[in-house]
């Protein structure tokens, strides 16, 4: 059972040792807490970032730069979307293109943006997972939580009250990636749980990565799933035992699991899963951010 990964005891059982091993492996992907601490005193509004698609050569001819070389054109177009650049306390600063926010050259200067992760459970209590399409620029082919994406710099997705901005974004991306109609996932059925701050490089193409404050949303609904092939190559519902096996398979390099999904699952998911009918007591203040 998944709870074996969250077992707490003063005696170092096999389960707790496994848990420590998984967390250590996750943090090796994410970097350690010290990597994030160096950004705490940053003035985010003055970071100089890479945003253009051209560079100038010595003979004054222009050429296209190569971050997108070999990548899918649809996904390249989506990199023009305007994410929400935030400070270390998740306060919005300005818009920043998806490309700007995900280039490691900018992340290494401290550029930070807002994200969200959806954990959708059906009426049987099984968790909906997706496998990211191979066309994705970051973490292609990885298994992950139901949807993980970004609210955009637009009025409806900048609403702070009761996390309605990220709820609107969650609705939009459930439809885009998994074909879930808005009426099957009403805004008020999402429960905001907490926020995490993490950093991770994309191993397949290390010029790209993630540096996010991720808002976690939980919802329990039976929905119709019709995936967009350019976003999702596979999906499935899993119970706790099946998810535990997936993490073991990932640890043995049989499958790939996104680092943020593993991090959230190992540190936060179990009590939520055990209390899907009564999540409210587990909701954390919006100004609390878990930093990894």
Residue positions annotated with a catalytic role: 148, 212
Residue 124, CA distances (Å) to 8, 12, 133, 226 in order: 26, 33, 27, 20
Give dist(CA 137, CA 80) in Å, integer.
13
Structure tokens at 80: 């023009």
Phi and psi at residue 121, to the nearest 5°: -110, 145
Query: How many Cβ atoms sit within 10 Å of the Cβ of residue 161?
Result: 7
Strand partners, 56: 62
Q: How far apart are CA 175 and CA 146, in angstroms?
A: 12
Length of the chain: 292
Cβ contact 251:22 at 8 Å: yes
Q: Compute φ and ψ for 63, nearest 5 degrees.
A: -140, 155
């Amino acid at each position: 059972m998944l709870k074996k990964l969250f077992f707490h005891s003063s005696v170092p059982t096999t389960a707790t040792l496994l848990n420590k091993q998984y967390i250590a492996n996750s943090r090796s992907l994410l970097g350690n807490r010290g990597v994030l601490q160096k950004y705490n005193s940053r003035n985010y509004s003055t970071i100089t970032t890479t945003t253009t698609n051209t560079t100038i050569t010595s003979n004054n001819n222009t050429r296209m730069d190569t971050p997108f070389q070999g990548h899918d054109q649809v996904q390249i177009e989506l990199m023009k979307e305007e994410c929400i650049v935030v400070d270390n306390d998740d306060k919005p600063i300005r818009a920043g293109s998806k490309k700007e926010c995900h280039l490691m050259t900018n992340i290494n200067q401290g550029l930070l943006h807002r994200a969200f992760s959806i954990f959708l459970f059906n009426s049987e209590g099984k968790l909906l997972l997706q496998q990211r399409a191979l066309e994705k620029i970051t973490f292609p082919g990885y298994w992950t939580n139901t949807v993980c994406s970004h609210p955009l710099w637009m009025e409806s997705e900048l609403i702070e009250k009761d996390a309605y901005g990220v709820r609107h974004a969650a609705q939009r991306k459930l439809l885009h990636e998994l074909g879930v109609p808005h009426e099957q996932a009403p805004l008020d059925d999402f429960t905001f749980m907490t926020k995490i701050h993490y950093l991770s490089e994309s191993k397949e193409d290390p010029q790209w990565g993630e540096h996010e404050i991720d808002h976690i949303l939980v919802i329990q609904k039976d929905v119709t799933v019709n995936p967009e092939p350019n976003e999702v190559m596979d999906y499935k519902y899993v119970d706790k035992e099946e998810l535990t096996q997936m993490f073991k398979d990932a640890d043995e390099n049989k499958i790939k699991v996104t680092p943020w999904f593993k991090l959230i699952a190992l540190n936060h998911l179990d009590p939520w899963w055990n209390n899907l009918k009564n999540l409210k007591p587990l909701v954390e203040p919006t100004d609390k951010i878990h930093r990894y």
